[in-house]
Amino acid sequence: MPKVGDVIQGNKIEGYNDYGKCIWSVCCVCGKERWVKLGKDGEPIHKRCNSCSKKGKNNPRWNGGKNEHRQYIEIWDSKKKCNVKEHRLVMEEFLGRKLTNKEVIHHINKDIKDNRIENLILFENDSQHKIFHHKNGDYKESYRKRVERHYSK
| 91 and 54 inside one domain | no
Please name the residues in contact with 91: beta carbons below 8 A apart, sequence gap of 6 or more: 99, 105, 117, 120, 122
Instruction: Determine, yes or no, domain membership for 82.
Output: no
| 54 and 91 inside one domain | no
| 48 and 96 inside one domain | no
Structural domains in the chain (count): 2
Collapsing DSSP states into helix, strand and coil, what is residue 60? coil
**Final residue of a structural domain among 21, 42, 58:** 58
pLDDT given at position 12 = 86
pLDDT tens column, 86-96: 999 999 999 99
pLDDT given at position 93 = 94
| 95 and 143 inside one domain | yes
Instruction: Determine, yes or no, domain membership for 64.
Output: no
Q: Sorting pLDDT into bands at 50, 70 and 90, what band is 78?
A: confident
Instruction: Determine, yes or no, domain membership for 71.
Output: no
Instruction: Determine, yes or no, domain membership for 39.
Output: yes
Counting residues of the chain whose pLDDT is more than 90, the rounded percentage is 41
| 144 and 96 inside one domain | yes
pLDDT tens column, 51-67: 777 666 666 666 677 88
Q: Are 72 and 85 in contact (CB under 8 A)?
A: yes
Instruction: Determine, yes or no, domain membership for 78.
Output: no
pLDDT tens column, 96-106: 999 999 999 99
Please give the DSSP secondary-structure letter assigned to residue 19. -
pLDDT given at position 13 = 86
- The residue range of the domain holding 36 is 7-58
Q: How far is CA 36 from CA 15, 23, 25, 42, in A?
A: 13, 5, 6, 11
Instruction: Determine, yes or no, domain membership for 25.
Output: yes
| 105 and 145 inside one domain | yes
Instruction: Determine, yes or no, domain membership for 119.
Output: yes
Q: Are 34 and 25 in contact (CB under 8 A)?
A: yes
Distance between CA 119 and CA 64 in Å, rounded?
24
| 147 and 91 inside one domain | yes
Instruction: Determine, yes or no, domain membership for 100.
Output: yes
CB atoms within 10 A of CB 78: 11
Question: 98-129 as b/e, with b when 16 or more CB fall inside 10 Å?
Answer: eeeeebbbbbeeeebeebeeebbeebeeeeeb
The alpha carbon of residue 22 and the mean position of all alpha carbons in its chain are separated, in whole angstroms, by 29
